[in-house]
């Protein structure tokens, strides 16, 4: 079922999760263990992130270096299929522009269609680890909106090869990213929202937000999106913040503010258990407020902290 259909049918706030594929060489067991724990809350869908290949230098026997491409977390599509098979819930692969030609993207979409996956989250992706700015593949897309356009074309049965007449129409429901505190490259919020709106105008069905730790950012974002004429569901992305280190790492990586009260409480912690407690209480308070405001979904970036998300959900439902 498509995300948009889940949202239309839901009588109350639904739960969704985001997970990462395991690093190469590791099995799927730990991912299954985490999801086994959280299935009690009947998530409507599980997003699976996509990780672009990185260029690394490997030392040869003669002492020289060669540049090789490695993908540390392969398997997004396989994991989606495994999740759907094991849990009978929708799995949503993330698709990124970075590192992909349009043809590779088309082939990936055809694979997804054949597997019966009809939800995707269309993203640009970040710059490669060895680059300062995002550089598209020479035959790929520069912005997520171009990727949305390609998916929509396939939904109309239009393939890259003009010779394909009456091509089978895919039926993807497309989500895109939104930033309650602005994407770090945007000059201001209005420009940022306008670019997000372009993705919606091209046919994307809903927005999933970057994490935020102050609900006011989310509520202001909803208001601003409405003012800009965006009328699709905007799903709040929530992450447990459980360590002192994250107080500096998360703002740096994701351009998000950590409220003073959360910083103060986290700075008092002496061990992991204290950190989990502070993170649980903060996330719980955020969720209660969001539920009070009847948000369509609570979307959890479960990443490494499924137990914290479990404890929060146990308290809520
Ligand atoms: P875009 O919508 O293309 O926007 C990128 C920047 O360009 C923004 O500043 C925007 O304002 C600007 N812009 C957009 N269109 C135009 C235009 N036409 N002209 C000029 N400027 C424009 N990354 C991954 O690698 N893998 C993942 O699985 C992943 N999952 C994510 C899930 C969510 C919910 C979110 C919020 C982010 C995720 N990301 C992921 C990170 C995301 O790829 C980065 O934030 C990336 O820097 C931007 O992606 P985007 O899709 O928002 O890009």
Q: What is the CATH number of the domain that holds 76?
A: 3.20.20.220
Total of domains in the chain: 1
Contacts of 17 (CB under 8 A, 6+ apart): 35, 38, 43, 45, 46, 47, 299, 300, 302, 309
Q: What's CA 79's distance to the chain center, in Å?
A: 15
Q: For the segment 227-272, what is each residue's pLDDT rounded down to a tens digit?
A: 999 999 999 999 999 999 999 999 999 999 999 999 999 999 999 9
Mean pLDDT for the chain?
96
Quick one: which of 36, 25, 144 has its CA closest to 75?
A: 25
CB 234 within 8 A of CB 196: no
CB 160 within 8 A of CB 167: no
Dist CA 288 CA 136 (whole Å)? 40
Dist CA 282 CA 303 (whole Å)? 17
Residue nearest to atom 2 of ligand 1 (CA): 144
Decide whether any atom of ligand 1 lies within 6 Å of the 194 Cβ. Answer: no
Contacts of 122 (CB under 8 A, 6+ apart): 95, 144, 147, 148, 151, 174, 175, 176, 199, 204
Q: How far is the CA of 177 from the centre of ligand 1 (A)?
A: 6
For residue 172, give its domain range. 3-316
Half-sphere exposure of 288 (CA within 13 A, CB side): 10
Decide whether any atom of ligand 1 lies within 6 Å of the 144 Cβ. Answer: yes
Q: For the segment 143-191, what is each residue's pLDDT rounded down to a tens digit?
A: 999 999 999 999 999 999 989 988 999 999 999 999 999 999 999 999 9
Decide whether any atom of ligand 1 lies within 6 Å of the 96 Cβ. Answer: yes
CB 232 within 8 A of CB 207: yes
Decide whether any atom of ligand 1 lies within 6 Å of the 124 Cβ. Answer: yes
pLDDT score, position 56: 81
């Amino acid at each position: 079922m498509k995300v948009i259909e889940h949202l239309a049918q839901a009588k109350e706030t639904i739960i969704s999760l985001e997970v990462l594929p395991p690093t190469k060489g590791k099995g799927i067991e730990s991912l299954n263990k985490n999801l086994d724990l959280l299935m009690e809350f009947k998530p409507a869908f599980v997003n699976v992130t996509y990780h672009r290949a990185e260029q690394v230098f490997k030392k040869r026997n003669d002492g020289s270096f060669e540049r090789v491409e490695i993908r540390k977390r392969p398997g997004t599509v396989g994991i989606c299929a495994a999740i759907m098979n094991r849990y009978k819930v929708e799995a949503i692969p993330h698709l990124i522009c970075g590192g992909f030609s349009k043809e590779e993207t088309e082939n990936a979409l055809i694979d997804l269609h054949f597997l019966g996956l009809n939800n995707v989250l269309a993203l640009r992706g970040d710059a490669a680890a060895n680059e300062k700015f995002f550089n598209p593949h020479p035959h790929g897309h520069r912005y997520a909106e171009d990727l949305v356009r390609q998916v929509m074309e396939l939904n109309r049965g239009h393939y890259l090869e003009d010779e394909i007449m009456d091509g089978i129409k895919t039926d993807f429901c497309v989500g895109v990213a939104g930033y309650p505190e602005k994407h770090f490259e945007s000059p201001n919020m209005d420009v940022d929202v306008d670019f997000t709106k372009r993705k919606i105008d091209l046919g994307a069905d809903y927005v999933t937000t970057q994490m935020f730790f102050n609900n006011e950012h989310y509520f202001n974002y909803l208001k601003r999106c409405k003012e800009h004429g965006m009328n699709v569901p905007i799903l709040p992305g929530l992450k447990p913040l459980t360590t002192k280190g994250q107080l500096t790492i998360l703002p740096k990586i994701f351009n998000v503010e950590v409220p003073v009260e959360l910083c103060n409480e986290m700075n008092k912690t002496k061990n992991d258990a204290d950190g989990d407690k502070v993170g649980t209480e903060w996330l719980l308070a955020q969720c209660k407020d969001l539920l009070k405001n009847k948000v369509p979904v609570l979307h959890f970036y479960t990443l490494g902290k499924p137990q914290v998300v479990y404890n929060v959900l146990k308290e809520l439902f």
